[in-house]
């Protein structure tokens, strides 16, 4: 009987020892699992935090890159070319002085009455000298509208420019080309036509 009792006691103790060991292992496993889960949670939290920081850094970089790209685009955009300034039209006063023509040239009729000539054909001495310098000629006086022995009298002479080839041009007429607002290039054409005797 004593032998049976001892055997039962050893069996019970073995079961208790085994149960304790199982419980201990279970607790250790639970602790380990909890620790692992906690570590995973911590890592996930840390990863989320790191990911957030990385995302914020990427946003900052993208903003900086966009700003630099915008700045570079702005700085490399070529400026629009300035509009071409049209050729300014010279005026007779700017070229020949304040009074390029005689103010009131007149003629006398056979009955002694007077009449007026077109002043554009009567250049002042100053204007005639300027035209002569432009054309490379010399100033000469001539009554272009009357002839010797005519009953009509021309009270002021026409100042003409005699060219090296002997032809003459009216200095007042040359100066009148500057009254229309033409550019100098077109005025040169008109002068050339007068010198050559062309009407075109």
Model confidence over 61-88: pLDDT tens digits?
A: 465 555 555 555 555 566 666 666 777 8
Q: What is the pLDDT of residues 102-140, one digit of tens each?
A: 999 999 999 999 999 999 999 999 999 999 999 999 999
Q: How many CA atoms lie within 13 A of 51 on its CB side?
A: 6
**Token duo for residue 175:** 């100066």
Q: What's the whole-model pTM score?
A: 0.57
pLDDT score of 14 more than 90: no
Within 95-157, strands assigned E span 106-108, 114-116, 138-142, 153-154
* Cα angle: 20, vertex 23, 25; to 5 degrees: 105
Largest Cα–Cα distance of the chain, in whole Å? 189
Helix/strand/coil for 123: strand
């Amino acid at each position: 009987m004593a032998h049976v009792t001892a055997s039962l006691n050893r069996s019970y103790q073995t079961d208790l020892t085994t149960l304790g060991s199982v419980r201990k292992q279970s607790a250790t496993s639970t602790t380990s699992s909890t620790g692992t889960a906690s570590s995973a949670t911590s890592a996930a939290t840390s990863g989320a935090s790191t990911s957030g920081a990385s995302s914020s850094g990427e946003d900052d970089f993208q903003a900086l890159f966009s700003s630099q790209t915008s700045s570079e685009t702005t700085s490399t955009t070529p400026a629009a070319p300035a509009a071409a300034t049209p050729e300014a039209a010279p005026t007779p006063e700017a070229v020949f002085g304040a009074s390029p023509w005689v103010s009131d040239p007149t003629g006398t009729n056979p009955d002694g009455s007077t009449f007026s000539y077109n002043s554009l054909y009567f250049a002042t001495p100053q204007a005639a000298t300027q035209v002569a310098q432009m054309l490379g000629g010399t100033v000469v006086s001539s009554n272009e509208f009357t002839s010797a022995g005519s009953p009509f009298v021309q009270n002021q002479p026409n100042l003409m420019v005699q060219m090296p080839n002997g032809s003459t041009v009216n200095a007042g007429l040359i100066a009148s080309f500057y009254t229309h607002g033409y550019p100098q290039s077109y005025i040169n054409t008109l002068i050339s036509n007068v010198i050559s005797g062309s009407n075109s």
